[in-house]
């Protein structure tokens, strides 16, 4: 069943009439009108599958609030425009993680059928399965995942977790996978070896720091000639100092500037068919809200580039 909760009322926060912000640009809309926009926001307020610290269910609302006050102008792409907000996916009242993934996938499939770019605001990483799986039904698909971890764990007996989405997607027919910004000492050898055997292209945080452009190119090259590309950002790809409000923050990560540059390069690929940002937990953030603000600006970079 395709259903959304009501979208927020968007407005800017600046008193300067010359300050156009995303709060002035984004409009609440419905699925039937999504074709009128270049991109549509979809909230996924769920963190029932988090392995570590919970709190990401509050991510969509916090990211929207922060984004509303971000100015819409990008120096290269120009001002963002034509952005709709569908509201939050209505989650099932009961059921395990797999049941939630199945229910949400019915809604995300309908969003993918529109002409707008879906921009999913998480929520935890388990719903990546629901966001990508509808794309697998027609043509080949590759994922570029900005993340500290591979998230290719075997699915435990108790059901999927936030650490299993790409194992699940491989089992469902995912053609290619390139994690970017992954950290040494954050992945078990068995999962690294399994990914390599599947042809996955691993781009470490060190490689991004050494040459951001080359790192982005390596990720896209690693996907080969897939028909469509899905882009995911787990906010824990940033260094823990820049994103303390991630579900699983660790040291040694990307700077926000490195993430935004690499993200824009990847998201500019003509094959991109969807974007998400996950694992932002406002209740775990620093007092200055730096993690939420970093997540909102990652969304802004994608939106500005897509509507340019």
Domain boundaries, the chain: 22-306
Q: What is the DSSP letter of 72?
A: -
Tokens read off for 96: 């395990």
| Whole-number pLDDT of residue 1 | 54
> What CATH superfamily classification does 22-306 receive?
Ureohydrolase domain (3.40.800.10)
Q: Does residue 100 sit in helix, strand or coil?
A: helix
Hunting for tokens 């039937």 — which residue is that? Answer: 32
Angle at Cα 55 formed by Cα 52 and Cα 60, nearest 5°?
Answer: 130
Strand partners, 233: 146, 277
Neighbours of 118 (CB within 10 A): 23
Instruction: Note the pTM of the prediction, 2 decimals.
Output: 0.96
**What is the predicted pLDDT for the residue at 123?**
93
Query: For residue range 150-200, what is the model confidence (pLDDT) as tens digits?
Result: 999 999 888 899 999 999 999 999 999 999 999 999 989 999 999 999 999
Residue 8 has a pLDDT of 80
- Are β-strands 83-88 and 26-28 bridged in parallel, bridged antiparallel, or unpaired? parallel
Q: Which helix (H) or strand (E) holds 296?
A: helix 290-306
pLDDT tens, the chain, 308 aa long: 568 887 788 999 999 999 999 999 999 999 999 999 999 999 999 999 998 889 999 999 999 999 999 999 999 999 999 999 999 999 987 789 999 999 999 999 999 999 999 999 999 999 999 999 999 998 999 999 999 999 999 998 888 999 999 999 999 999 999 999 999 999 899 999 999 999 999 999 999 999 999 999 999 999 999 999 999 999 999 999 999 999 999 999 999 999 999 999 999 999 999 999 999 999 999 999 999 999 999 999 999 987 65
**Which pLDDT value is given to residue 52?**
80
Q: How many CB atoms lie within 10 A of CB 269?
A: 17
Unique residue bearing structure tokens 């269910």: 57
Handedness of CA 125, 208, 41, 66 (dihedral sign): positive
N- to C-terminal Cα separation, the chain: 33
């Amino acid at each position: 069943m395709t259903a959304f909760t009501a979208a927020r009322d968007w407005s800017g926060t600046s008193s300067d009439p010359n300050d156009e912000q995303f709060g002035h640009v984004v409009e609440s809309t419905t699925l039937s009108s999504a074709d009128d926009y270049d991109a549509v926001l979809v909230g996924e307020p769920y963190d029932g599958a988090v392995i570590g610290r919970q709190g990401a269910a509050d991510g969509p609302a916090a990211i929207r609030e922060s984004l509303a006050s971000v100015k819409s102008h990008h120096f290269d792409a120009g001002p963002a425009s034509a952005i709709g907000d569908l509201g939050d996916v209505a989650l099932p009242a009961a059921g395990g993680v797999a049941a939630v993934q199945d229910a949400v996938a019915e809604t995300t499939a309908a969003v993918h059928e529109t002409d707008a770019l879906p921009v999913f605001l998480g929520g935890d990483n388990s719903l990546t399965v629901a966001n990508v799986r509808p794309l697998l039904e027609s043509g080949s698909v590759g994922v570029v995942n900005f993340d500290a971890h591979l998230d290719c764990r075997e699915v435990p007996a108790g059901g999927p977790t936030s650490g299993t989405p790409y194992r699940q997607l491989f089992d469902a027919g995912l053609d290619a996978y390139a994690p970017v910004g992954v950290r040494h000492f954050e992945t078990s050898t068995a999962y690294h070896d399994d990914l390599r055997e599947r042809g996955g292209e691993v781009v470490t945080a060190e490689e991004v720091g050494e040459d951001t452009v080359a790192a982005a190119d390596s990720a896209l090259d690693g996907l080969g000639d897939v028909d469509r590309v899905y882009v995911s950002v787990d906010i824990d790809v940033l260094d823990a100092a820049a994103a303390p409000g991630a579900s699983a923050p660790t040291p040694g990560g990307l700077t926000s500037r490195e993430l935004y540059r690499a993200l824009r390069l990847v998201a500019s690929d003509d094959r991109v068919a969807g974007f998400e940002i996950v694992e932002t937990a406002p209740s775990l953030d620093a007092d200055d809200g730096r993690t939420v603000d970093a997540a909102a600006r990652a969304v802004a970079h994608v939106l500005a580039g897509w509507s340019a």
